[in-house]
Structure 1
Amino acid sequence: MSRSPLFAGLAPDEADAVQRRASVRKFAAGQSLFEQGAAARELFVITKGRIKVWRASEEGMSLTLTLLGRGAPLGTLGAASDARNHATATALTPVEALAWPIEILRELMDANPVLAANVLRTVANYAEQLIERLEEVASVPVEQRLARTLLRMAQRAYGTEADGCELPLSRQDLAELTSATLPTVSRIMSRWRAEGLIAGGRGRVVLRDCGRLARLSERGTM
């Protein structure tokens, strides 16, 4: 868990002290860690499995905001203020997570300014992601959104957008992340594979030409 942004900059003994205040929670695939509109009561750090974070509109349409895995913190909004969850987090696979009740987390934040800064930074990052996703869906063509999504996921997983990055994403995952139809995503991905931009098998995407993907992400054309 030392790689989790929640623990960035903490000394080993400080990280251990924070982890000792957590409990281990397990969730079955399809189970929600928290739901949109409910009071934010816990902070989670994923230790095993994958999570989908999504938001429902008033019309009942769902928008997938991101997919998260090991080390990702969730539920930080309640730590920053008394608020309700702005999205739902659902387990895509069996999930294990460390969980801190918000009251305990606030005690830890009061005692450790570095931890407090990490929590607030995570809140800001998720808010930026939400705004970015909403803007993309409203104004960016599908192919451009798809290129941006692959590069963004590589950056989050590896800290870089480099050729050879392998992402555990299916075409259905990418369709949800880009708010596009599965046939449209499949058509684009098949063309990119033929052109050498990507490779990989079922449920995995390997980035082969991040330079061209970056140009696509900006222009939407080759």
Structure 2
Amino acid sequence: MRDVSGSSRDELERCAVLRRFAIGESLFSQGDAPREIFVIDSGRVKVWRATEEGVAITLTLIGPGALLGTLGATQNHPHNATATAVTAVEAVAWGIADMRRIMADDPALAAAILRTVTKYAEQLVERLEELSAVPIEQRLARTLLRQADQSTEGEDLPLSRQDLADLTSSTLPTVSRIMSKWRRARLIAGTRGKVRILDALRLADVGEIAG
């Protein structure tokens, strides 16, 4: 939101509230009316959705700098997913009414919020394209590298094998088999519910990602 006017920046700062969330605490829940929009300052947040059968499906994992709850700033629909802290999280929050009021007076701010909504939609399209054209081992490598891009170098990624199965539209046995192979090859390491990338260059080769 670097392009917003000085007056909007002042108003955003005036209305901002620092929120802290413990591991497992939700920033908002599926079905709730939108009340706040967040910028993650520190920590990691998992966005997930429960199916009609009650199965939890991980949609994405986000880290510092990410905007969250942006759809609620543009539409008054209930949240279609839940956002849960997977580490201790600090976030700057604004009430939806305050954000909508400031957006109405600042087209640049409104455009920034819409760009974020569009980015999330593009990520969904990218996942769907990968599902139809990219083998699972490549999808898994790309997913791990994307998550690492949002983290401090060398940081353990708070991802379970089920999270990775959801993020790659795969199955738990398939992800487990691939990750066991990568552990033996010293591409990754980690404990239960966490993954550490040991060799990003070789993992990029697996995912056919340049660099």
Normalised to the residue count of structure 2, the TM-score between the two structures is: 0.78
Quick one: which of 138, 147, 153 aligns to 1:144? 138
Alignment of 1:26-175 (within 5 A): 26-133=20-127, 141-155=135-149, 157=150, 166=154, 168-169=156-157, 170-172=159-161, 173-175=163-165
Amino acid at match of 1:214: G
Report % sequence identity. 53
Structure 1 equivalent of residue 201 of structure 2: 208
State the Cα distance separating 1:139 from its structure 2 match: 7.6
Quick one: which of 172, 177, 180 aligns to 1:190? 180
State the Cα distance separating 1:28 from its structure 2 match: 2.2
**Structure 1: distance between partners of 2:156 and 2:2:** 24
What secondary structure, in the 3-state scheme, does the structure 1 residue paired with 2:27 have?
A: strand
Change (3 A) 1:194 1:205: same
Task: Tell me the matched-pair count.
Answer: 204
**Structure 1: distance between partners of 2:6 and 2:160:** 39
**Structure 1: distance between partners of 2:122 and 2:137:** 21
Backbone CA RMSD of aligned residues: 3.1
8 Å CA contact 1:171–1:186 kept in 2: the answer is no
Gaps of 5+ in 2: none
| 1:7-40 alpha-carbon deviations (Å, 9 max, x no partner) | 2334788545423311122222212111112212
Structure 2 equivalent of residue 9 of structure 1: 3
Change (3 A) 1:116 1:72: same
8 Å CA contact 1:44–1:98 kept in 2: the answer is yes
What secondary structure, in the 3-state scheme, does the structure 1 residue paired with 2:109 have?
A: helix
State the Cα distance separating 1:105 from its structure 2 match: 0.5
What secondary structure, in the 3-state scheme, does the structure 2 residue paired with 1:84 have?
A: coil
What secondary structure, in the 3-state scheme, does the structure 1 residue paired with 2:208 have?
A: helix
Structure 2 equivalent of residue 178 of structure 1: 168
| 1:52-73 alpha-carbon deviations (Å, 9 max, x no partner) | 1011222222221111122211
**Structure 2: distance between partners of 1:124 and 1:76:** 10
**Structure 1: distance between partners of 2:52 and 2:84:** 19
Gaps of 5+ in 1: 1-6, 159-164, 217-222
